[in-house]
Amino acid sequence: MKIIQALNYEQLSKLAGEVIATQVNEKTNSLLGLATGSTPTKTYQVLADLYNAGKVDFSQVKSVNLDEYVGIEQNHSQSYFTYMNENFFSHVNIDTANTHLPNGNVDDLQTECKNYETLINRLGGIDLQLLGVGHNGHIGFNEPANAFPEATHVVKLDDRTIKANARFFESEADVPKYAVTMGIGTILKAKKILMLVTGEDKADILYKTLTLEPTPEVQSTALQFHKDVTIIADEKALTKIKELNPELLK
């Protein structure tokens, strides 16, 4: 895995935006795998700035998001559908017909999961998958488990994830308990992976991601199986690696 060190969140976001823009400039009809959460918000702003400066064109780009909550309307203020429109899609010239998220608000979630997996394959597979990481190592919403989930599936969210995401809802009780997420197998099929890690509270999980033997108890360790992973991490997220295993950064 390649680790790029950023001084802070600002620089991390700038670097991440440049990696994604380069991908789009090299392959104009790229299929981007996208993430939500607080980590990539500024990356999306950087991409919007690059678009406004004429440095990247999203007109041919297609996208698939990692995950979506179950049981809230697509246009709920905290759905990932709304997040993507507000943070990214409405600021660039992507055709929203080419943007896809799993729909967590359907009766037949199993069929939705199967169809989502088929869709990703039909679109030619993900060229670049953007990831954040949860404190428990989840990527997408693949929570600690006794196996690495293969395909898109419904998952019960961890208590820690619900607590962490309560900041976006009126109360913890309002956070959905389930989500639809790409599986680890889906994520690992992406041609390239770009993971962003910011802040001291992620230093421990970043360290584990890189140093533990791959274990489904820390799903992000599955990234060790992929041959083209770039991690952009800021100084604070790198503190534990610098302290215990600085040679990883060489």
Query: Which residues are designated catalytic?
Result: 67, 136, 138, 143
Interface mask (CB under 6 A) for ligand F6R, residues 48-87, using x and -?
------------------xx--------------------
Residue 37 interacting with ligand F6R (CB under 6 A): yes
Provide the 8-state DSSP code for 215: B
Window 141-200: residues binding ligand F6R (CB under 6 A): 141
For ligand F6R, the closer of residues 59 and 90 by Cβ is 90
SS3 state of residue 94: coil
SS3 state of residue 141: coil
In the bound complex, what is the minimum distance in angstroms from residue 33's beta carbon to ligand F6R?
10
For ligand F6R, the closer of residues 67 and 112 by Cβ is 67
27 burial (CB, 10 Å; 0-12 / 13-18 / 19+) is: middle
The C-alpha atoms of residue 120 and residue 34 are separated, in whole angstroms, by 12
Q: Which range in 1-9, 10-18, 32-40, 238-246 contacts ligand F6R by CB under 6 A?
A: 32-40
Residue 6 interacting with ligand F6R (CB under 6 A): no
SS3 state of residue 42: helix
User: Distance from first CA to last CA of the chain, Å, rounded?
Assistant: 11
For ligand F6R, the closer of residues 26 and 167 by Cβ is 167
- Binding residue count for ligand F6R, defined by CB under 6 A: 14
In the bound complex, what is the minimum distance in angstroms from residue 109's beta carbon to ligand F6R?
17
For ligand F6R, the closer of residues 67 and 234 by Cβ is 67
Q: Which residues have C-beta within 8 Å of that of residue 211, sequence separation ≥ 6?
A: 245, 248
The C-alpha atoms of residue 68 and residue 211 are separated, in whole angstroms, by 29
Phi-psi region of 130 (alpha: psi -120 to 50; beta: other; left: phi over 0): beta
Q: Are strands 128-131 and 31-34 parallel, antiparallel or unpaired?
A: parallel
Strand partners, 47: none
Token pair, residue 141, equals: 């919403």
Q: Which of 3, 6, 24, 35 forms a contact with ligand F6R (CB under 6 A)? A: 35
Residue 140 interacting with ligand F6R (CB under 6 A): yes
For ligand F6R, the closer of residues 138 and 192 by Cβ is 138
Binding site for ligand F6R (CB under 6 A): 35-39, 66-67, 132-134, 138-141
